[in-house]
């Protein structure tokens, strides 16, 4: 009798999607499947045991939903795509001690091909990304009937409750001790209400409301809480009144020059070093102390600077970047502090604001601070100590309120000993120091970084690349990455210019990587050994025992290569750490498969 195939047939999938029960999956924080029922396996098109330990985002196209699932956002009635089919899902995170430790995904049904989900978060979040910030603003999204289909923790905090308690309720049922929601009226009139005051749970908040359009029809609404307490606006207004010169900024500085484009969720990685660093970043961001970022070139220091600004109470003001090494020495002072009219030949009429004035009330990022000339270091120290500057060419001193985030790949202590960097400025800058690890120190983050870059370049190149081939992945994992994340990104982009199928192959990688992994005599010998191993066991043992023995051998080898580091061993095997523990327990206890 032939062995039954693991993949469920189309008829079974259709039956489960249309007439069968919904399926349930339990996920860990990295969206790896911890457990699932038969109905979930049928809807996903495979036997449950074949899906255990696999990442959900490798099985299904989650689009932007994956990031929000990891952050603990709750949603109802949203589609994920599996093998060309759209499955309607609900999601509830599991939270312990204010930390997201996993979640439960309920697979409801397969959508007919002609069916469009009314409020499709994938489309909405992509189109509304310019004005949505799910990490800081309170966000609630409802369907046309006023039923909440998505809510984040920041909004639930306003109501002193959890997203679980709000999801699926009508707006007016969820808002206890609050004014009736204005979203139904916004959907009815199809007119946004921007910058309105509203009472929620006894607090006067500042909000913006928008109708959601699809194919010319209103299909839902979105509410965004910008300030959780109206008093925040008064505090900011009072600060702005003390700086009338900032009004000139609007006409002289473009948004591209002064906007923060990333937040802490833009930092990809699940290694302990990165998770600890992100936690430290969030603690530091809420203060106003200066921050010094240390790390090799290409580790992402600018990304961390953006994230500090985005998580701070200065996030609504300017973020200004200055590369101290890229500006000629004779222009650096005028760039940083500005100049008065007639300060030098060719000076702009009316003068020009410097980067520090542009960053007033916000954050200035001084990259490559170790390359700043000594004479400028003395002027910089005065700005940090006295919070005032004098533009080139004279004029009255100007007060500035700026948070400084500096970065360098140099050893500043060594430069101080050599007399090339002022000691007093060094201590002013390093009030808080965050050291960003190199990529070779967190190799377990390579895989999520690669998948993130593949997603980015799929959109940019219009391709549908799924992953690296096994051989290409081994090359990537064995390389030392002297250029860190920047080099990894460039390698994946280079491969996208050559790839023709769903997988990036070793031949698509740059020569310097591929050469490091050319087949050697030892590898050929190992391949022959494997062939001999299989020949010896064929006919002597049943298939299941051969598979179990070989699997156990792979587990032992992975642990030897990783020197007992189970997280690294799991990454080498392409499985979750929980699944590795389960396999190890199986062979240690002698359980049957």
Distances (CA, A) of 521 to 497, 517, 518, 528, 554: 32, 12, 10, 11, 21
The residue with greater pLDDT, 75 or 359, is 359
The pairs formed by 208-214 with CB atoms below 8 angstroms and a separation of 24 or more are 208/131, 209/182, 209/183, 210/128, 210/186, 211/186, 211/187, 212/119, 212/124, 212/141, 214/116, 214/118, 214/120, 214/123
Q: Give the Cβ contact number of residue 284 at 10 Å.
A: 18
Distances (CA, A) of 371 to 332, 367, 380, 416: 11, 9, 13, 12
pLDDT tens digits, residue range 203-233? 778 788 888 877 778 888 888 887 665 445 5
Mean pLDDT over each residue of the chain, to the nearest integer: 79
Three-state DSSP at 371 gives helix
pLDDT tens digits, residue range 395-429? 778 888 899 999 999 999 999 999 999 999 999 99
Under the banding of pLDDT at 50, 70 and 90, the label for residue 263 is: confident
pLDDT of 163 reads 82
The residue with greater pLDDT, 557 or 184, is 184
For 29-38, 243-252, 273-282, 461-470, which range has the lowest pLDDT when averaged over its residues? 243-252
Burial of 511 (0-12, 13-18, 19+ CB in 10 A): exposed
For residue 86, which of 55, 70, 65, 71 has the smallest C-alpha distance? 65
Instruction: State the Cα–Cα distance between residues 486 and 500, nearest whole angstrom.
Output: 24
The residue with greater pLDDT, 204 or 372, is 372
The residue with greater pLDDT, 70 or 535, is 70
Q: What residues pair up with 516 in beta bridges, in sequence order?
A: none
- Please, are residues 23 and 39 in contact by the beta-carbon 8 Å criterion? yes
For residues 445-451, average pLDDT:
93
- Please, are residues 65 and 122 in contact by the beta-carbon 8 Å criterion? yes
pLDDT tens digits, residue range 23-73? 999 999 889 999 999 999 988 988 888 899 999 988 998 876 787 788 778
pLDDT of 152 reads 82
Quote the DSSP letter at residue 106: E
Chain centroid to Cα 316, Å, comes to 20
Sheet (strand 74-82) strand order: 33-36, 23-27, 99-110, 85-96, 74-82, 148-151, 138-143, 217-227, 203-214, 193-200
In this model, does residue 321 exceed pLDDT 90?
yes
The residue with greater pLDDT, 329 or 99, is 329
Angle at 58 between CA 467 and CA 303, to 5 degrees: 70
Q: What residues pair up with 388 in beta bridges, in sequence order?
A: 399
Q: Give the Cβ contact number of residue 316 at 10 Å.
A: 15
For 166-180, 204-218, 345-359, 570-584, which range has the lowest pLDDT when averaged over its residues? 345-359
pLDDT tens digits, residue range 167-194? 888 998 887 777 888 999 999 988 888 7
Most confidently modeled of 216-220, 334-338, 568-572, 588-592?
334-338
User: SS3 sequence, 235-254?
Assistant: HHHHHHHCCHHHHHHHHHCC
Q: What residues pair up with 439 in beta bridges, in sequence order?
A: none
Phi, psi of 94 (to 5 degrees): -105, 120
pLDDT of 21 reads 61
pLDDT of 228 reads 60
pLDDT of 136 reads 55
Instruction: State the Cα–Cα distance between residues 555 and 566, nearest whole angstrom.
Output: 10
pLDDT of 253 reads 47
For 54-63, 238-247, 559-568, which range has the lowest pLDDT when averaged over its residues? 238-247
User: What count of residues does the chain have?
Assistant: 593
- Please, are residues 416 and 273 in contact by the beta-carbon 8 Å criterion? no
- Please, are residues 408 and 266 in contact by the beta-carbon 8 Å criterion? no
User: How does strand 503-504 pair with strand 403-408?
Assistant: unpaired
Quote the DSSP letter at residue 139: E
E strand or H helix at 585? helix 577-589
Under the banding of pLDDT at 50, 70 and 90, the label for residue 11 is: very low
Strands (E), 10-54: 23-27, 33-36
pLDDT tens digits, residue range 116-169? 555 555 555 544 443 455 555 688 888 889 989 888 877 888 888 888 888 888
Cα Rg, the chain, nearest whole Å: 28
Three-state DSSP at 302 gives helix
The residue with greater pLDDT, 550 or 446, is 446
In this model, does residue 526 exceed pLDDT 70?
no
In this model, does residue 2 exceed pLDDT 50?
no
Under the banding of pLDDT at 50, 70 and 90, the label for residue 6 is: very low
In this model, does residue 4 exceed pLDDT 60?
no
- Please, are residues 353 and 252 in contact by the beta-carbon 8 Å criterion? yes
In this model, does residue 308 exceed pLDDT 90?
yes
Residues whose CB falls within 8 Å of the CB of residue 142, separated by 6 or more in sequence, listed in order: 119, 148, 149, 171, 183, 220, 221, 222, 223
Under the banding of pLDDT at 50, 70 and 90, the label for residue 304 is: very high
Under the banding of pLDDT at 50, 70 and 90, the label for residue 300 is: very high
**Dihedral sign (CA 172, 175, 179, 183):** negative
In this model, does residue 296 exceed pLDDT 80?
yes
Region for 457 from its dihedrals, namely left if φ exceeds 0, alpha if ψ lies in -120 to 50, beta otherwise: alpha
Instruction: State the Cα–Cα distance between residues 544 and 549, nearest whole angstrom.
Output: 9
User: How does strand 403-408 pair with strand 363-367?
Assistant: parallel
pLDDT of 442 reads 93
Q: What residues pair up with 478 in beta bridges, in sequence order?
A: none
In this model, does residue 518 exceed pLDDT 50?
yes
pLDDT of 339 reads 81
Instruction: State the Cα–Cα distance between residues 151 and 139, nearest whole angstrom.
Output: 6
């Amino acid at each position: 009798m032939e062995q039954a195939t693991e993949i469920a047939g189309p008829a079974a999938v259709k039956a489960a999607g249309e007439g069968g029960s919904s399926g349930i999956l339990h996920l860990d924080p990295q969206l790896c499947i911890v457990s699932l029922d038969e109905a979930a396996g049928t809807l996903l098109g495979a036997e449950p045991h074949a899906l255990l330990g696999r990442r959900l985002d490798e099985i299904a196209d989650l689009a932007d939903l994956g990031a929000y699932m990891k952050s603990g956002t709750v949603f109802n009635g949203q589609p994920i795509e599996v093998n060309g089919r759209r499955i309607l899902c609900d999601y509830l995170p599991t939270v312990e001690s204010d930390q997201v430790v996993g979640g439960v995904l309920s697979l409801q049904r397969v959508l007919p091909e002609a069916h469009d989900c009314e409020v499709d978060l994938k489309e909405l979040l992509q189109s509304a990304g310019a004005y949505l910030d799910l990490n800081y603003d309170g966000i609630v999204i409802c369907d046309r009937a006023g039923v909440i289909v998505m809510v984040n923790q920041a909004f639930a905090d306003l109501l002193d409750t959890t997203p679980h308690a709000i999801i699926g309720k009508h707006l007016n049922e969820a808002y206890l001790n609050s004014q009736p929601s204005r979203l139904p009226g916004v959907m009815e009139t199809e007119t946004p209400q921007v910058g309105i005051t509203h009472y929620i749970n006894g607090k006067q908040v500042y909000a913006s409301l928008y109708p959601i359009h699809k194919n010319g029809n209103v299909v839902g609404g979105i509410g965004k809480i910008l300030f959780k307490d109206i008093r925040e606006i008064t505090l900011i207004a009072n600060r702005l009144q003390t700086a009338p010169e900032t009004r000139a900024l609007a006409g002289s500085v473009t948004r591209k020059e002064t906007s923060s484009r990333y937040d802490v969720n833009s930092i990809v990685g699940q290694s302990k070093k990165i998770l600890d660093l992100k936690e430290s970043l969030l603690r530091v961001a809420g203060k106003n102390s200066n921050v010094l970022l240390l790390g090799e070139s290409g580790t992402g220091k600018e990304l961390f600077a953006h994230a500090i600004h985005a998580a701070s109470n200065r996030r609504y003001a300017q973020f200004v970047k200055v590369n101290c090494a890229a500006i000629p020495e004779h222009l650096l002072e005028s760039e940083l502090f500005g100049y008065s009219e007639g300060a030098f030949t060719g000076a702009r009429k009316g003068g020009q604001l410097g980067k520090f004035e542009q960053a007033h009330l916000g954050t200035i990022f001084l990259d490559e601070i170790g390359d700043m000339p000594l004479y400028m270091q003395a002027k910089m120290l005065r700005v940090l100590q006295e919070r005032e500057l004098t533009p080139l060419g004279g004029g009255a001193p100007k007060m500035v309120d700026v948070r400084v985030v500096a970065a360098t790949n140099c050893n500043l202590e060594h430069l101080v000993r050599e007399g090339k960097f002022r000691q007093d400025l060094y201590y002013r800058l390093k009030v808080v120091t965050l050291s960003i690890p190199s990529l070779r120190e967190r190799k377990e983050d390579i895989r999520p970084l690669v998948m993130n870059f593949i997603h980015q370049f799929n959109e940019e190149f219009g391709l549908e690349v799924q992953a690296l081939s096994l051989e290409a992945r081994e090359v990537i994992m064995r390389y030392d990455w002297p250029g860190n994340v920047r080099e990894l990104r460039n390698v994946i982009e280079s491969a996208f210019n050559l790839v023709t199928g769903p997988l990036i192959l070793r031949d698509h990688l740059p020569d310097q990587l591929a050469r490091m992994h050319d087949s050697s005599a030892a590898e050929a010998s190992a391949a022959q050994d494997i062939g001999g191993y299989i020949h010896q066991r064929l006919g002597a043992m049943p298939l299941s025992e051969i598979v179990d023995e070989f699997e156990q051998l792979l587990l032992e080898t992975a642990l030897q290569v990783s020197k007992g580091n189970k997280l690294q061993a799991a990454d080498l095997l392409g499985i979750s750490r929980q699944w590795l523990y389960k396999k190890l327990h199986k062979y240690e206890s002698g359980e049957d498969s």
